[in-house]
A and B are shown apart, each in its own frame.
Chain A
Amino acid sequence: MNKQEYELVVVGGGPAGLAAAQEAYDQGVRDILILERDFELGGILQQCIHNGFGLHYFGEELTGPEYAQQFMENVRERGVDIKLDTMVLEVTPEKDVYAINSDDGMLYIDAEAVILAMGCRERTREAIDIPGTRPAGVYSAGTAQRYVNMEQWIPGEKVVILGSGDIGLIMARRMHLEGAEVEAVLEIMPFSGGLVRNIVQCLDDFDIPLRMQQTVTEIHGKDRLEAVTVAEVDENMQPIPGTEYKIECDTLLLSVGLIPENELSKDAGVKMHDVTGGPIVNEGRETNIEGIFACGNVLHVHDLVDWVTEESLVAGKTAANYLQGGIDKREQEIEVNPGENVGYIVPQKITNDVEDRKLVDLYMRCKKPMEHVTINLYSGDKKLLDKNERRVEPGEMITFPVPEQMISDDMDSLKVDIVKEGE
Chain B
Amino acid sequence: MKDKTDILIIGGGVTGCFAARELSRYDLDITLVEKEPSLCTGTTKANTALIHAGFNADPDKLKGRLNMRGNQLYHERIQHELDVPIEWLGALVVAKEEEKLPKLEELLEKGQENGVPDLEIVKGDDIYDLEPHLADDAIAALHAPTAGIVNPFELTVALANNAAMNGADVYLEAGVEDIEDKGETKLVKTAKGDIEADIVINAAGLYADKIANMVGIDKFEITPRRGEYYLYDKQADIDVQTTVFPVPTKITKGIVVTPTDEGNVLIGPNAEVIESVENKSTTREGLDEVLNGAQKTIPELSKRNVIREFAGLRPAITETGDFLIEASDEVPGFINVAGIQSPGLASAPAIAEKVVGIVEEEIGGLKEDPDFDPNYEGPPKFRHMSHEEQAKLVEEDENYGQIICRCESVTKGEILEAIREPVGARTVNDIKRRVRPGSGRCQGGFCEPKVVNILSEELGIPENEVVLESEESKLLRERTKEPLLNEEEVSDNE
B403 in contact with A133 (CB, 8 Å): no
Q: Does A124 contact B (CB under 8 A)?
A: yes
Supposing A121-B442, A147-B476, A153-B478 touch, asked if A100 and B390 sit within 8 A by C-beta, the answer is yes
Q: Mark B432-458, 1 if CB is under 8 A from A, else 0.
A: 000000000111111011001100000
A121 partner, pick from B445, B464, B474, beta carbons under 8 A: B445
Stretch among B277-285, B338-346, B369-377 lining the A interface: B277-285
Q: Within the complex, which residue of A85, A140, A155 is in contact with B476, where a contact is CB–CB below 8 Å? A: A155
* A142 & B479 in contact (Cβ 8 Å cutoff): no
Given A126-B306, A134-B310, A148-B480, residue A153 in contact with residue B391 (CB < 8 A) = no
Contact A179 B481 (CB under 8 A): yes
Taking residues whose C-beta sits less than 8 angstroms from the other chain, chain B's interface range is: 35 or more
Binary B-proximity of A116-155 (CB < 8 A = 1, otherwise 0): 0000011011110101111111001011001110111111
* B284 contacts across to A, CB distance below 8 A: 131, 217-218
A140, chain B: closest CB distance, angstroms: 5
Decide yes or no: A126 and B401 within 8 Å by CB, A106-B390, A106-B391 being known contacts: no
In the assembly, what is the distance between CA of A127 and CA of B231, in Å? 11
Q: A129-B287, A131-B287, A148-B480 are in contact. Are A37 and B406 (CB under 8 A)?
A: yes
Q: Which residue of A lies closest to B284 (CB)?
A: A131
Chain A residues with CB under 8 Å of B468's CB are: 135-136
B475 touches A122 (CB 8 A): no
CA distance A19 to B395 in the complex (A): 33
Q: Is the CB of A131 within 8 A of B481?
A: no
Residue of A nearest to B475 (CB): A136
Task: List residues of B (451-485) whose CB comes within 8 Å of A's CBs.
Answer: 452-453, 463-464, 467-481
* B445 contacts A1, C-beta separation under 8 Å: no
Which residues of A are found within 8 Å of B446, using beta-carbon distances?
121, 143
Task: Check A131–B445 contact: CB distance below 8 A.
Answer: no
Q: Which residues of A contact B467 (CB under 8 A)?
A: 136
Does any Cβ of A come within 8 Å of B219's Cβ?
Answer: no
CB nearest neighbor in B for A254: B445
**Known A-B contacts A89-B409, A124-B442, A151-B463; A133 and B306 likewise in contact (beta carbons under 8 Å):** no
**Interface check A223, CB cutoff 8 A:** yes
B303 at the interface (CB under 8 A from A): yes
A132 contacts across to B, CB distance below 8 A: 281-282
B445 touches A140 (CB 8 A): yes
Do A105 and B401 touch (CB < 8 A)? yes
Is B182 an interface residue when CB atoms closer than 8 A count as contact?
Answer: no
B488: A residues at CB distance < 8 A: none
Q: Which residue of A lies closest to B401 (CB)?
A: A102
On whether the beta carbons of B403 and A87 are closer than 8 Å, the reply is yes
A131 to B287, CA, bound (A): 8
CA of A131 to CA of B288, assembled, Å: 11
The residue that B387 contacts in the complex, of A98, A124, A146, A156, with Cβ under 8 A, is A98
How would residues 303 to 332 of chain B score, 1 for a CB under 8 Å from any chain A CB and 0 otherwise? 100111110000000000000000000000
Among B398, B407, B441, B467, the one with the most A-chain Cβ atoms within 10 Å of its Cβ is B441
User: Is the CB of A108 closer than 8 A to any CB of chain B?
Assistant: yes
User: CB-defined interface of A311-347 with B at 8 Å, one 1/0 digit per residue?
Assistant: 0000000000000000000000000000000000000
- CB contact between B448 and one of A126, A143, A156, A179 (< 8 Å): that residue: A143
Q: Which residues of A contact B452 (CB under 8 A)?
A: 151
Find chain A residues with CB under 8 A from B283 CB.
131
Contacts of A127 in B (CB 8 A): 306
B63 CB, nearest partner CB in chain A, Å:
29
Which chain A residue shows the least CB distance to B280?
Answer: A133
CB contact list, B288-310 vs A, under 8 A: 303, 306-310
Please state if A131 and B477 are interface contacts (CB–CB under 8 Å). no
A90 at the interface (CB under 8 A from B): yes
A142 to B443, CA, bound (A): 13
B contact residues around A136 at 8 Å (CB): 467-469, 473-475
The answer to whether the Cβ of A224 comes within 8 Å of any Cβ in the partner chain is yes
Q: Is the CB of A153 within 8 A of B280?
A: no
**In this assembly, does A101 line the interface, its C-beta being within 8 Å of a C-beta of chain B?**
yes
Is residue A290 contacting chain B, with contact meaning CB distance below 8 A?
no
Assess whether B122 is interfacial by the CB under 8 Å rule: no
> Is A178 in contact with chain B by the CB < 8 A criterion?
yes
Cα-based distance from A1 to B406 in the complex (angstroms): 21
Select from chain B the residue with minimum beta-carbon distance to A105: B394
Q: For the complex, is A222 an interface residue (Cβ under 8 Å from B)?
A: yes
In the complex, 26 of the A-B residue pairs with CB atoms within 8 angstroms, ordered by the A residue number, are A37-B403, A87-B409, A102-B398, A102-B399, A103-B398, A106-B394, A121-B442, A124-B442, A126-B309, A132-B281, A134-B280, A143-B449, A151-B452, A151-B453, A151-B463, A152-B479, A153-B463, A153-B476, A178-B480, A218-B284, A222-B470, A223-B471, A223-B473, A224-B473, A224-B474, A263-B235
Q: B residues near A, CB below 8 A? A: 235, 278, 280-284, 286-287, 303, 306-310, 387-388, 390-391, 394-395, 398-399, 401-403, 406-407, 409, 441-446, 448-449, 452-453, 463-464, 467-481
A interface residues with partner B (beta carbon < 8 Å): 1-2, 37, 85, 87, 89-90, 98, 100-106, 108, 121-122, 124-127, 129, 131-137, 140, 142-143, 146-148, 150-157, 178-179, 217-218, 220, 222-224, 263, 266
Across the A-B interface, give the 4 residue pairs with the lowest CB-CB distance, nearest first.
Answer: A106-B391, A223-B472, A102-B401, A87-B403
